[in-house]
Chain A
Amino acid sequence: VVNWDKEQQQILSLPLESKILLKGPVGCGKTSILKKRYLQYIESGIDSEKILVLVMNRPQSLLWHQEIDEWIPGRVVRTSYFGFAQSQLTKCWPLVLELYPEIKRRHIQPVFLTFEVSQFLMAASIKKYAHAIGALSQVWASTDRMAIELTGILARAALAGVPYSQIGDRLFKGSMGTVKADYELFKQVDLILQDYRLRCLEKGCLDYGLVAEIYNMGLLKEPQYEKFLRAQFTVVLVDNLEEMTVAAANLLSKILPYAKGALLCFCHDGGYSRFYGAQPDYVIDTIDGMCEERKMVNAYTCCPEIFRFADHFAEGVLAKKVSPYPCNHWVEWEIDVDLRSDMLDLVAKKLISLVNEEGVPADEIAVIAPFVDPVMEGTMSSALGDMGIGITNSTRRPRAKDNPFVKALVTLACLAHPGFGILPTMNDISDTVSLCLGMDPIRSAMVARVIMQQKPYMFPNIDDVLWRERIGFSNSERYEYIRNWLLKYMEGEPEPIDIFFRRVFIEILISLPAAHENLMACQQLMDSAASFLEGLEPFDEFENPNREFVNTILQGSKGAEGIIDVKNALNAPGILFTTPLHYLMTTRNRRVQVWCDIRSGGWVPREVKTISNPYVLSADWQPSQTMTPELEEWEALNKLAVVVRCLLRRCQERVILASSRYSSQGYEDDGILAEFWLQALQQGMGSELK
């Protein structure tokens, strides 16, 4: 039951045929109105499949799901732009094949590449050109790092509607004002990007960038498709319009003129996803005149004082000087020490006192830091855990191999496929033995040692009675079973790795006591493996994709994120540990925010990198324009201003700041945010700082 205020009631009472652009600050209730509106459309008899709901990301979608979906009889079409583009490409693939003769592998459906596969393929292209012409050899970065940058560049350009052929040129011209511009370097970038793109395209394999490119610059421009698109939807609802890209704006501009009703919510002080390609101004310009504009002013996610201060602070950041503000009764910065470990210790104490002495519920506290690293998480969970206070890290996606079952699957894969040439470590074998045989860590290590004495590694035949006694094989049957299973498997042809995992899980691991709770992690591993193989299958140059997959897992690849993970992360109780962007993208709202590491440069992440520069790949960038240092600084400050404003507007009562002079690595932190806070607090408690 929601008590709508007058402003909100007015919007909700507008006729359903209206097409509304709703603008308002953070926390004015736009999303709630959007949900209510959705229900109004359903109640009016519109088929849910005819209503397109465009949201920013999966967590957003999940929030909708929890509140809305059970009321809806039919299928709900609620998606991110990327998900939408993927589904449309799948539906219209024959048309795409006509439009793109470069696609040589004319299968009935495209293959969508996962992040791991596209990075793997990009790295292969980089290596190819590095070998052939010494490409990018002057850049101080690992191939993997460059592969991430380059796949990002392609996606970024496609979302902004910039043709891939312009990328190198734009990067070069844009860099002239700053980097020692190197024409050759950007020509090499172009070569690699084109090689990668063409190889993927030929095989009908689409990464994030190609999905955006083909949909936005290909399919969407086809009259035949436009007709099909119009026929699919009659109502469009968009949340967080300010976080949408040029590609999404193009999509809206095609649908809106024909839609029967629409509600687009735009947060005028949002736009924090610029880093991911959001272009709020472009979006507004594109849909200009297509909707009736409505404004809201009331905000409910923070108190009026913080609301005003948020503006003051953000404006100060833009002006590079925050004037002192009487905010010391709800901002405190008492934790400012040399060592980060000391900071973590004091923050833990502060959190304990907040919960236990001041009575703030743990669920009402968020700790926000540029990086929630394992040290922060580990230290906090043990310090707070001792006091019975739970924590949730919304940003952590563990490495797949950190799960014991996954580790066992991967270790057994290495043992069963000596041809991979991957030797598992003693810990991995020992943990696997311990898990599979339910054995204590010491005896497991003894068995592991014996396994490692075999060439290739293998569970040996244990005939020695003394040894058996020492190991205490109460379950020697099980040992024999696993050993025989492996031997039998190795006699036959190796299976695709996802099938191998499935078999091991079903035939060996499923009987273990913890199998059920680890099922999801194993399933994700199998899914990742299947997608990886599917992604690489069209490319015949990779000798052993099965081995490559095992390698990516061993190198720390994260497991595929299931909707259940997202759901768990979103709803987990306890003190929330998160990053600024994650906090905002999951529309959180807390009574107390603890900002950690405020001296860290991570609060203003770098966007211009060695070979990539998101600004020159945006739609409003003039191709011959140069990136000046002033412009770069302004963009960085602008982004910081947006983030701090949005964060503060999602804090109801109090902000606690914490910092250390040295980072966990022992290097001095001198990020700009601390300087601004110092200025703001100057009259208040700044002088009390140690």
Chain B
Amino acid sequence: MNIKLREGQKQVMEYEGGYMAVPSVPGAGKTFTLAQLATKLIGEGRHLPGKILIVTYMNSAVANFRQRISENLSKAGLNPVQGYDVMTLHSLAMKILRDKPERLLVSPEYEILDEVRQVSLIKDITLKWIGENEKIFNSLLDNKKVSYFQMQRRTKRWRMEFSKMVVHMISYFKCMGYEEDKLKELVGGMQEPCPLRWCVAVYQEYLNFQRSSGHLDFDDILRGALILLRENPDLLKKYQDAYTYIFEDESQDSTPIQQEILLMLSQEHGNLLRVGDSNQAIMSTFTVSDPKLFQNFCREEDTKVQSILVASRSCEHIINMANYFVQWAINCHPSKACRDALEEQYIKPVGKDDPFPNPRVPYYSVACRCFSTLEREMKFVADNATRMLHEYPDKTIAVLVPYTYRIGMLVEFLENKGTPYREITRYPKERTYTSRLLGALLDYLACPYDNRRLVEAVELLIPFEDGEGEELIDYLSKIHLEEMFYPLTGKFHSDKIPKALKESGEWEIWERDWQPLFQEFLEFTGDMPEYLVLHIAQRLNFDREQMAIAQKIASDMRYLMSVNPGWSLMDLAQELKEIQNSFNFFASLVYDMQGYQPKPGEVTISTYHKAKGLEWDIVFLTSISSGDFPATMKDGFQGDHYFLTEEYRNPIAVAKAQLRELTDGVKLGNPMIQARIDTICEKIRLLYVGITRAKENLVLTAHNAFSTETGYIIRTSPSLYFRVLSEYVAEEHKQNLA
């Protein structure tokens, strides 16, 4: 292999076996190094008779690894598909579970309850539970000095938040291995009101449903795989034999289950290589992942630690700022408890002779701006992103926002300016299009006399240009549809059509291209709905991804109809139209397989979380305000609910602390304080991830107020980090000018 390796990479490439930890900074080329190493080991035949297993987090990373390794192997004249497996932990767990489900008394025909269905099911059970225990449930509300109207709102909000809490806690119970009976026993003696106890009650109901219907959720699959390996030496041996080497990517996000599975599997050969960056651990507050697992692994006696600190991604200004932020957090963070949020690990630029040097920018390329409102901030970002898109047509641009729901406003500004954009969120618009379109079509076909439904389908289906289609839509929303599609006299009287519509030419196109298509679909309704979906997909010439989604929808339809015998086409349509339905979950998978390559000429919008592992030339980091990036105990915290009584303000933190006390007898101080510390630490890392996404230009923005959906203006302030970094930037800028 004729490739120039950097400091750190070289040493990793010398790896032949054993336990190794590779802490690496952002942009260190982890994927590149792992793919090279896998190729080298396969080339030398060291993996035989087993394979190399690469475990990663996201499906997009799976596709990326696979592609790189197969290309490397092909170049080396080796079989591109042999010698290695790349999978997510879920795929690995599923593989293990599928091997012997009966050993866990799970029917081999088990159904998988994907995240969306799981959440909706738990929500239903929770609401039922609340209905039966309303009084005690509401007793946690802080109703002092509030109006009736406010109280109603608080009750509603608490129901919603409690449903989310139950989802979180059930996952926590499963991932931490709390058995059902044990939990019941533990909470049995607890005094009411006790949200932990309520969660256990819903959990039991949920488990009853799961067992009686043979449904497993993702946590069950992970846990099931772990138990199978723990309790079945034959199965463990089979997988130990199968994988001579195990590489784990993004180890800082490992969970206790993941770590245990990988450690067990690597026991026989003792070849486990884990790559991670503790400073990019951003999953621990809402999953059970724990960056300490990787840190502890690094400290193990048997572990050889080989860092990769050299990175060529960002220009010097950005590297300096990221390093400054690390240094500041470690030495100056006002909360001492948060000073270990980041590890003292600094990014080094590559050497001058490197064939891929760090970008060089002739001016100081970091800026900070604060705005009076969120709206103004977003407008500024949209304007400037658009401007840069035109000024630097060959550069890639991204805007990062803290939460998916913030995307809407930005999208509106970009759309108004006609700026092309792409979302990398869980359910971006283009990905949900297929199920929305099919949903709208089925919805209409289920109620074919309904003008509103027809219009909805037409608007999604027909690609009207700006200002086009209004006449047609207006007409379609009024006319008796049976007369248009099936005139009793055999011919539709065209004299009824408004003149303007006729003259616009839209009617002619409708009559020629679209009406017959709708009619064809209408006449298909008598047959099985799954065939109808396939037929529609074929007639509308769906592209590759859309076809995959349509086929998944068709195959799920039979299942949905069988578990819900009373369902009609209309219910299926509703299911499809729900934004976060399971089909979109599948859609994410399909689109993720393509991987994501930033492209010049469009603005990418992503959450900070989803941006991990990606890079752009120009990055806007938005909403660095105290609510979104809390830095002190006085800031706002997402997990804290103002409407609950003082001692239960963060019910999840309280419940976890209670559980810990019940099992280990460890009594923590104020669990809510600890939860805040954890949040602060994670937000520090999240911001660090954001900063290190940029290659050449970085713009940090914040706001002082935002309005809620109901129109309230909420005051906030820029986060402490924003202020600290602004000062740093101002100073640097000055020096640069000098």
Interface residues of A (CB under 8 A from B): 137-143, 145-146, 178-180, 182, 185, 336, 338-342, 344-345, 373-375, 378-379, 382-383, 402, 404, 423, 425-428, 430-431, 434-435, 440-443, 445-446, 449, 470, 472, 474, 551, 554-556, 601, 606, 608-610, 629-630, 662, 664-668, 670, 678, 682, 686-687, 689-690
A606 to B566, CA, bound (A): 32
Q: Is B471 an interface residue (CB 8 A)?
A: no
**Closest chain B residue to A383, Cβ basis:** B538
A338 to B594, CA, bound (A): 10
- Of the candidates B79, B100, B449, B526, the one whose C-beta lies within 8 Å of that of A434 is B526
- Residues of B close to A449: CB separation below 8 A: 447, 449
**Closest chain A residue to B528, Cβ basis:** A402
- Of the candidates A402, A474, A609, A629, the one whose C-beta lies within 8 Å of that of B107 is A609
- Of the candidates A139, A379, A445, A629, the one whose C-beta lies within 8 Å of that of B105 is A139
**Closest chain B residue to A447, Cβ basis:** B449
Residues of B515-560 contacting chain A, CB below 8 A: 522-523, 525-528, 530-531, 534-535, 538, 544, 547-548, 550-552, 554-555, 558
- Of the candidates B107, B528, B590, the one whose C-beta lies within 8 Å of that of A374 is B528
Beyond A442-B449, A662-B593, 12 extra complex contacts between A and B, CB < 8 Å: A140-B106, A141-B106, A142-B107, A340-B551, A382-B535, A402-B527, A426-B570, A428-B568, A431-B525, A442-B485, A556-B565, A668-B94
- Residues of B close to A428: CB separation below 8 A: 568
A670 to B243, CA, bound (A): 15
Q: Which 9 A-B pairs have the closest CB atoms?
A: A425-B568, A141-B107, A440-B486, A629-B234, A442-B482, A341-B548, A378-B534, A140-B106, A472-B488
Q: Is B668 an interface residue (CB 8 A)?
A: no
- Of the candidates A180, A374, A434, the one whose C-beta lies within 8 Å of that of B231 is A180
Residues 465-509 of chain B, each 1 if its beta carbon lies under 8 Å from chain A, else 0 = 000000000000000111001101000000000000000000000
Q: Is B216 an interface residue (CB 8 A)?
A: yes
- Residues of A close to B535: CB separation below 8 A: 378, 382
A138 to B105, CA, bound (A): 7
Interface residues of B (CB under 8 A from A): 63, 79-82, 87, 91, 94-95, 98, 100-110, 112, 210-216, 231-232, 234-235, 446-449, 480-482, 485-486, 488, 522-523, 525-528, 530-531, 534-535, 538, 544, 547-548, 550-552, 554-555, 558, 561-562, 565-570, 586, 589-590, 593
Q: What's the least CB distance linking A677 to chain B, in Å?
A: 12
A382-B108 in contact given A137-B211, A374-B558 (Cβ < 8 Å): no
A441 B551 Cβ-Cβ under 8 A: no
B534 A382 Cβ-Cβ under 8 A: yes
A629 to B552, CA, bound (A): 34
Q: What's the least CB distance linking A599 to chain B, in Å?
A: 11
Q: What's the least CB distance linking B545 to chain A, in Å?
A: 8
- Of the candidates A554, A662, A668, the one whose C-beta lies within 8 Å of that of B565 is A554
**Closest chain B residue to A612, Cβ basis:** B102
A179-B555 in contact given A441-B525, A556-B561 (Cβ < 8 Å): no
A552 to B538, CA, bound (A): 33
6 residue pairs A–B, Cβ–Cβ below 8 Å: A336-B81, A379-B534, A426-B447, A441-B525, A445-B449, A474-B488
A610 B482 Cβ-Cβ under 8 A: no
- Residues of A close to B95: CB separation below 8 A: 668, 670
A374-B565 in contact given A137-B211, A382-B538, A667-B112 (Cβ < 8 Å): no
B526 A404 Cβ-Cβ under 8 A: yes
B486 A140 Cβ-Cβ under 8 A: no
- Of the candidates A138, A340, A423, the one whose C-beta lies within 8 Å of that of B566 is A423
- Residues of A close to B215: CB separation below 8 A: 140
A664-B94 in contact given A180-B231, A342-B544, A446-B482 (Cβ < 8 Å): no
A445-B448 in contact given A344-B551, A686-B79 (Cβ < 8 Å): yes
A404 to B80, CA, bound (A): 51
B590 A339 Cβ-Cβ under 8 A: yes
What number of residue pairs across chains A and B have CB atoms under 8 A from each other? 200
Q: What's the least CB distance linking A671 to chain B, in Å?
A: 10
B448 A140 Cβ-Cβ under 8 A: no
- Of the candidates B107, B232, B566, the one whose C-beta lies within 8 Å of that of A610 is B107
- Residues of B close to A179: CB separation below 8 A: 102-103, 105
B449 A140 Cβ-Cβ under 8 A: no
- Residues of A close to B548: CB separation below 8 A: 339-342
- Residues of B close to A662: CB separation below 8 A: 589, 593
A689 to B213, CA, bound (A): 40
A664 B551 Cβ-Cβ under 8 A: yes
A668 B555 Cβ-Cβ under 8 A: no
A667-B544 in contact given A145-B109, A180-B103, A689-B81 (Cβ < 8 Å): no
- Of the candidates A140, A339, A601, the one whose C-beta lies within 8 Å of that of B210 is A140
B486 A443 Cβ-Cβ under 8 A: yes
Q: What's the least CB distance linking B625 to chain A, in Å?
A: 37
- Residues of B close to A446: CB separation below 8 A: 449, 482
Q: What's the least CB distance linking B11 to chain A, in Å?
A: 32
**Closest chain B residue to A341, Cβ basis:** B548
Kindly name the residue among B485, B526, B550 whose own CB sees the greatest number of chain A CB atoms within 10 A.
B526
- Residues of A close to B486: CB separation below 8 A: 440, 442-443
A571 to B558, CA, bound (A): 28
A145-B94 in contact given A338-B593, A375-B534, A666-B586 (Cβ < 8 Å): no
A427-B446 in contact given A140-B105, A179-B102 (Cβ < 8 Å): yes
B81 A678 Cβ-Cβ under 8 A: yes
- Of the candidates A145, A336, A442, A665, the one whose C-beta lies within 8 Å of that of B552 is A665
A443 B482 Cβ-Cβ under 8 A: yes
Kindly name the residue among A137, A383, A440, A472 whose own CB sees the greatest number of chain B CB atoms within 10 A.
A440
**Closest chain A residue to B231, Cβ basis:** A180
- Of the candidates A336, A435, A441, A555, the one whose C-beta lies within 8 Å of that of B562 is A555
B544 A445 Cβ-Cβ under 8 A: no
A342 to B446, CA, bound (A): 30
A86 to B117, CA, bound (A): 46
Q: What's the least CB distance linking B310 to chain A, in Å?
A: 34
Kindly name the residue among A138, A382, A428, A474 whose own CB sees the greatest number of chain B CB atoms within 10 A.
A382
A442 B522 Cβ-Cβ under 8 A: yes
Q: What's the least CB distance linking B336 to chain A, in Å?
A: 46
B530 A140 Cβ-Cβ under 8 A: no
A133 to B107, CA, bound (A): 21
A423 to B571, CA, bound (A): 14
**Closest chain B residue to A555, Cβ basis:** B565
- Of the candidates A379, A445, A608, the one whose C-beta lies within 8 Å of that of B447 is A445
A404 to B525, CA, bound (A): 11
A601 B98 Cβ-Cβ under 8 A: yes
B566 A425 Cβ-Cβ under 8 A: yes
A665 to B557, CA, bound (A): 12
- Residues of B close to A180: CB separation below 8 A: 103-105, 231
**Closest chain A residue to B109, Cβ basis:** A145
A678 to B79, CA, bound (A): 11
- Residues of B close to A374: CB separation below 8 A: 528, 530-531, 554-555, 558
A610 B106 Cβ-Cβ under 8 A: yes
Q: What's the least CB distance linking A424 to chain B, in Å?
A: 9
A218 to B356, CA, bound (A): 84
Q: What's the least CB distance linking B103 to chain A, in Å?
A: 5
A130 to B456, CA, bound (A): 48
**Closest chain B residue to A434, Cβ basis:** B526
B79 A470 Cβ-Cβ under 8 A: no
A629 B449 Cβ-Cβ under 8 A: no
Q: What's the least CB distance linking B184 to chain A, in Å?
A: 14
Q: What's the least CB distance linking B486 to chain A, in Å?
A: 4
A608-B555 in contact given A145-B109, A445-B447 (Cβ < 8 Å): no
A606 B108 Cβ-Cβ under 8 A: yes
A670 to B81, CA, bound (A): 13
**Closest chain B residue to A345, Cβ basis:** B547
- Residues of A close to B214: CB separation below 8 A: 140-142, 145
- Of the candidates A138, A378, A440, the one whose C-beta lies within 8 Å of that of B554 is A378
Q: What's the least CB distance linking A376 to chain B, in Å?
A: 9
Q: What's the least CB distance linking A182 to chain B, in Å?
A: 8
A375 B488 Cβ-Cβ under 8 A: no
Q: What's the least CB distance linking A457 to chain B, in Å?
A: 13
